[in-house]
Amino acid sequence: MRRDTRLAYPYVVWMVIFIAVPLLIVAYFAFTDKTGQFTLDNLRQIGEYAPVFLRSLLLAARATVICLVLAFPAAWWLSRLRANHQRIMLMLVMLPMWMNFLLRTYAWMTLLENNGLLNRLFGAMHLFDLVNGVNAALNGLFGCSLPTGITYFPMINTSGAVVLGMVYNYLPYMILPLYTIMVKIDNSEIEAAQDLGANTRMILTRVLIPMSTPGISTGITMVFVPSVSTFIISRMLGGGGNMLVGDLIELQFLGNSYNYNLGSAMSLVLMVIVLLCMGVTNTSGGEDGIEGVV
């Protein structure tokens, strides 16, 4: 046993230096002002930024739900493939993760821009002409005032683009924990449910979803937490109008507002919110906890 404890020392030291100490520093700054005096002003000031916090939570929640809806059937399909096909498909799922996160997000910028690849493609397909034509017809028939001069769809700098970026970047983190749980579900368990009178919907609600719960809660955590604290995705795809908590915090440390006391307080509040959310998903996930971590 003693040997086991000693093996953990390097990591414990690492944890203390790079996680515990910084956390304490963050807490210290959050509760002091620029002169080092104890104060609760920083926390009080956060109230002004409530809309940003709310937007972060909302967009992250939206991205998480979309990831879950996309990943659940995909992971099930993956887990039913033959073993060698599973390996290939899993590699394809993870393939985007091999490329730098920033590059991937830049790629979406060039795709979504107003004169970007997608809009040019739509133009080549005469999609705008079609929409303009339909709008004009509707205006004529019903007296609507729909725009008839569309030359592009505004996609970049919308909250939708931010959610898209989150889903694209974090989808594998939902698929993998679901897959690791689902691959352990035997076909005979599904057959047993059918045998006992369960139709497809009942199999889903009474067997498949309950049995995948550990994977679902792990996946939610692994998508929601990075989504709620991201600042690159929102800056690159969301423009100025979709600032998230991450951007706000970054602004306090590296940006013009330069107020690391306020930044620390924001980080602390975000951390508490995230911990609360994780607590909720993990208690609803049953006693197996985060068993599905890859």
Q: Which residues bind other proteins (CB under 8 A)?
A: 186, 188-189, 191-199, 202, 206-207, 210-211, 213, 286
CB of 191 to other proteins, least distance (A): 6
Q: By C-beta, is 81 or 107 nearer to other proteins?
A: 81
CB of 290 to other proteins, least distance (A): 16
CB of 224 to other proteins, least distance (A): 23
Q: By C-beta, is 181 or 269 nearer to other proteins?
A: 181
> In angstroms, rounded to a whole number, what is the distance separating the alpha carbons of residues 162 and 231?
10
CB of 214 to other proteins, least distance (A): 10
Q: By C-beta, is 181 or 223 nearer to other proteins?
A: 181
Q: By C-beta, is 47 or 197 nearer to other proteins?
A: 197
Q: By C-beta, is 120 or 206 nearer to other proteins?
A: 206
Q: By C-beta, is 33 or 291 nearer to other proteins?
A: 291
Token reading at 293: 């971590």
Note whether 135 and 149 are within 8 A (CB).
Answer: no
Q: Closest Cα partner for 78 from 177, 174, 179? A: 179
CB of 210 to other proteins, least distance (A): 5
CB of 69 to other proteins, least distance (A): 22
Q: By C-beta, is 104 or 184 nearer to other proteins?
A: 184
Q: Closest Cα partner for 96 from 80, 112, 108? A: 108
CB of 223 to other proteins, least distance (A): 23
